[in-house]
Structure 1
Amino acid sequence: MTILRAPSPGLGTVLGACWLTAALAACGGGAAGGPTTPAPAPPVATPAPPPQPSGSAGCGSAAKLATGEQTVTSDGIQRSYWLELPAGYDRHKAYPVIIGLHWRDGSATEVRTWNNFFGLKPLYGNNAIFIAPQGRNAGWANDGGRDIRFMRALISQVQQGVCTDPQRVFATGFSFGGMMSNAIGCEMGDVVRAIAPMAGSLWSGCGNGTHRVAAIFDHAMDDNVVPYAAGEAARNTFVARNSCSATTAPIGNNGCVEYQGCSAGKPVVWCGHATGGHWPPAFAAGEMKAFFDRF
């Protein structure tokens, strides 16, 4: 029996078919009018997160503290301070903090009512938070560093309770308050940026902290309560700590001088004046604010 076979396609036929198949694929393939593969959808853009408020832990949330007397426990003892928030407080605004320290036998109440935090509050308006701590036995003996620990506790409480700028915490005070300002500058440079002691000394102690602060000092030569030499000794301590030279240059309009060559960002200014006794001069607030505004 003879078996009939269909004729095999020639090489030309096979190549032609392959060429046609490739051409169809390159043009979208398949039969005319057939379905095409859809292009992939573009990735969905992830929305940017809302801007986060800068500043302390208290920023962005409702204030946990309000203007008025506050208490904080330090060394197992409940201690008090007056907190003054600006009118129209904004929880998203990181405010500088100014600590005002009272004189011997003075009080936090007198600091805020006598002349509005040594005249600073009117200059800041509603752009700063003010604190007036109350010293034990109406003073700042700082026995065993207890008042330094109190300052750390109250600053931490304020930073957690309201929106502050941790890089702009300043301390000032008069007489015993000036001495405590110096003690803060000696030990709390990790928390406080600058100090402004008036008629102060180192009689509240001067611990050997590793962080430095900027400092502006005010003292009258005829001070008969805290000797001028005691103020100079405090100044000299910070001049040495901040690696300043002995050269000075005039600054401001009230006879103040700034030491030259100090460590970057740690200037030292001395406002020594001939008269005025044991009392803050009228120009003190303006010089302090101008100094604080540098940071």
Structure 2
Amino acid sequence: MQGVASDSFYQLKRYADSTKNYCIFVAPNGYGSGTPLWNQEAKDHTFFDDMLKIFKDSLCVDTTRVFSCGFSYGAMFTYSLSTNHQKQLRAVACYAPANWNIYLPVNTHEPIAYMQTTGISDSSCKWIYSDADSQGGKYCVSGHAKDNGCTIPATIPTTTSGSKTHICYEFMGCQDKYPVKFYSFDGGHQCAPVDGTSGTDNSKKSWIPAETWKFFTQF
């Protein structure tokens, strides 16, 4: 995950440094150096548990504020963790997650603060992959909204093609301290879209790092 580290961990380290809110950042590879990415049954979950234990044993870690975020397969793995690691993770941010081509454990349905971004033209991690099988980004976010006791609207608002902007929908009625926020944007399979454009990826100009930092630091 050298790309994540060289990009200041989705630019979150830049915010940590500028506010002197120092954090421990980690960008791990999946089991077997990430091949075939984050889809090795429970092996990557075991790896995460072992890694977190090492950090807790050897570093000064605020165990009430452990977070995970990722893009694409990183988002899928983060989503996978969010379904059964609610006691270890305070909040997660998933940039283009999916729930049909990744190992998914038995969902404990406990609450977790959840943030998600999805491009409305994403053909890799679609907003709706299969309504019949409850697969797609829509079902990632609505599942957590249900687990957090939020009110789920008949239609979750999304931005429109050609708008060159993003919109945020914050679910209402959620359990206290367990918000769910969904950001849709005019673009495709991207982790750093830029308002005013469609298809541009630039983490230093994207709105996502600031929104993620704000989401995490509320806890």
The alignment's TM-score, normalised by the length of structure 1, stands at 0.59
Q: Are 2:214 and 1:290 equivalent residues in the alignment?
A: yes
Q: Are 2:152 and 1:246 equivalent residues in the alignment?
A: yes
Q: Which amino acid aligns with 2:210?
A: G
Q: Which amino acid aligns with 1:284?
A: I
CA distance in 2, matches of 1:119, 1:198: 13
2:189 maps to 278
2:203 maps to none
8 Å CA contact 2:69, 2:93 repeated in 1: yes
Q: Are 2:81 and 1:208 equivalent residues in the alignment?
A: no
Choose from 173, 178, 196 the match for 1:261: 173
% identity of equivalent residues: 25
CA distance in 2, matches of 1:234, 1:173: 14
Instruction: Compute the displacement of 1:255 (Å).
Output: 1.6
SS in structure 2 at match of 1:112: helix
8 Å CA contact 1:174, 1:200 repeated in 2: yes
8 Å CA contact 2:166, 2:184 repeated in 1: no
Unaligned runs of 5+ in 2: 129-135, 158-164, 194-205
Unaligned runs of 5+ in 1: 1-107
Residues 107-256 of structure 1 aligned to structure 2 (within 5 Å): 108-113=1-6, 115-125=7-17, 127-137=22-32, 138=34, 139-143=37-41, 145-202=42-99, 203-204=101-102, 205-209=104-108, 211-229=110-128, 230-247=136-153, 254-256=166-168
1:29 maps to none
Instruction: Provide, for residues 30-79 of structure 1, a one-character-per-residue CA deviation record: whole Å limited to 9, x for no partner.
Output: xxxxxxxxxxxxxxxxxxxxxxxxxxxxxxxxxxxxxxxxxxxxxxxxxx
Instruction: Compute the displacement of 1:206 (Å).
Output: 4.6
Residue-pair matches, total = 183
More contact order relative to length (CA 8 Å, sep ≥ 6): 2
CA distance in 1, matches of 2:176, 2:50: 28
CA distance in 1, matches of 2:54, 2:137: 31
SS in structure 2 at match of 1:289: helix
CA distance in 2, matches of 1:234, 1:241: 11
CA distance in 2, matches of 1:226, 1:261: 28
1:30 maps to none
8 Å CA contact 1:142, 1:148 repeated in 2: no
CA distance in 1, matches of 2:171, 2:180: 6
Instruction: Compute the displacement of 1:207 (Å).
Output: 2.6
SS in structure 2 at match of 1:133: coil
CA distance in 2, matches of 1:244, 1:116: 33
CA distance in 2, matches of 1:254, 1:187: 30
8 Å CA contact 1:193, 1:214 repeated in 2: yes
Structure showing greater radius of gyration is: 1
8 Å CA contact 2:31, 2:47 repeated in 1: no
